[in-house]
Amino acid sequence: MAEPETGKEIKVRVSFPISKRGPYEQEFTPDTTVGIVLADAMKYFEVENDTQFVYVLSYDGREQDPATTLGSLVGHSREVRFTLVKKITQG
Amino acid sequence: MTLDLESRLNLEHDEQPVAAFLAENGGGLDRDDTLGGEGGDPAVYWLTMRPASHPAERYFARVGWEAYPYNHPSIKFATGVRGALNVTSAWPVMTGYRPTSFDICRPISKEGFAIHPEWAEGSTAWPTEGNPFLWVAQTIQFHLDNDYQGRAS
């Protein structure tokens, strides 16, 4: 995995198809964790975890660990696109 | 299935992002009435999908709408586009997907809401904002990419 470049902002875009709002877009430093982005995106889309669902971020199809940093995820890239996933906890 | 004009127009508006998403994930989208032959149904879509971990596998989800975006769709897996709907091996093994019952026990399908009527309220209620068709496709793909346990026998 490539070493993250420090000090440069990473453009983050989070899409969530079942929202009236357009994609969430923000810039973060490479040491920002996925969990920080997730919390901010959930606030933007006005959703919360409950007993039926938890929200997670998917990158390249894969659920991401909230502790992962953006820099370690994208390496030298300066942008990252996530999907906010409503993960069902029962079925 | 019959489909009112509003639903048809809404689906035509929302289907392109679904097709693009599926193509990005090695799959595709076919609307039944564009496949040729007799009896094509504009309310039915065939989603060709694959798990990221098993790119050689192909699954074919039949998604049938009754009122879009207001009602949840029927979702069944088939042996192919316009294939048989009563074959268990057409189904992926994933949490909540029940090959022997031919249904998805999750609040994304008509069959799931029939099993759990209480899902009609609260956070499990069917979403009508944005692009629910894309949400259905992304949800199934997320399950294929993160919870795939193989093909049902």
Q: Yes or no: say if A85 and B139 are a contact pair by the CB < 8 Å rule.
A: yes
User: How many Å apart are CA B129 and CA A73, to the nearest integer?
Assistant: 31
Residues 6+ apart with CB under 8 A from B101: none
Picking from B21, B135, B144 by the largest number of A CB atoms within 10 A of its own CB, the best residue to mutate is B135
Q: Yes or no: say if A13 and A28 are a contact pair by the CB < 8 Å rule.
A: no
Asked if A17 lies within 8 A of B134 by C-beta distance, the reply is yes
Q: Mean pLDDT of all residues in chain A?
A: 91
Q: Give the CA radius of gyration of chain A.
A: 13
Asked if B130 lies within 8 A of A62 by C-beta distance, the reply is no
Peptide bond just before A17 cis, omega within 30 deg: no
Paired tokens of A5: 């470049």
**Euclidean distance between the first and final Cα of chain B, in Å?**
30
User: How many Å apart are CA B10 and CA B62, to the nearest integer?
Assistant: 18
User: How many Å apart are CA B32 and CA B85, to the nearest integer?
Assistant: 15
Going along chain B from its start, the domains and CATH numbers come out as 5-33+40-146 (3.10.110.10)
pTM of the model: 0.94
Asked if B130 lies within 8 A of A20 by C-beta distance, the reply is yes
**Chain B residues whose C-beta sits inside 8 Å of any chain A C-beta:** 17, 25, 52, 95-96, 105-107, 112, 122-124, 127, 129-132, 134-135, 138-139, 141-142, 145-146
Burial class (CB in 10 A: 0-12, 13-18, 19+), B41: middle
Give me the half-sphere count of Cα atoms (radius 13 Å) on the Cβ side of residue A78.
Answer: 3
Q: What is the pLDDT of residues B66-84, one digit of tens each?
A: 999 999 999 999 999 999 9
The mean pLDDT value for A63-78 works out to 95
DSSP class per residue in B91-139: SB--TTEETTTTEE-STTSHHHHHH-GGGGSGGGSPP-SS-HHHHHHHH
Reported confidence tier of residue B25, pLDDT bands at 50, 70, 90: very high
- Measured CA to CA in angstroms, residue A37 lies from A63, A85, B151 at distances of 14, 13, 35
User: How many Å apart are CA B4 and CA B78, to the nearest integer?
Assistant: 25
Nearest to B129 among A18, A62, A85 (CB): A18
Q: What is the pLDDT of residues B97-134, one digit of tens each?
A: 999 999 999 999 999 999 999 999 999 999 999 999 99
Burial class (CB in 10 A: 0-12, 13-18, 19+), B117: exposed
Phi and psi at A46, nearest 5°, equal 60, 50
Nearest to A83 among B127, B129, B138 (CB): B138
- Measured CA to CA in angstroms, residue A70 lies from A56, B129, B145 at distances of 15, 29, 21
Shortest distance, CA A8 to any CA of chain B (angstroms): 28
Asked if A91 lies within 8 A of B132 by C-beta distance, the reply is no
Q: What is the pLDDT of residue A6?
A: 55
Asked if A17 lies within 8 A of B142 by C-beta distance, the reply is no
Give me the half-sphere count of Cα atoms (radius 13 Å) on the Cβ side of residue A8.
Answer: 11
Closest chain B residue by Cα to residue A23 = B130
Picking from A18, A47, A62, A82 by the largest number of B CB atoms within 10 A of its own CB, the best residue to mutate is A18
ipTM: 0.90
Q: What is the pLDDT of residue A90?
A: 61
Closest chain A residue by Cα to residue B18 = A17
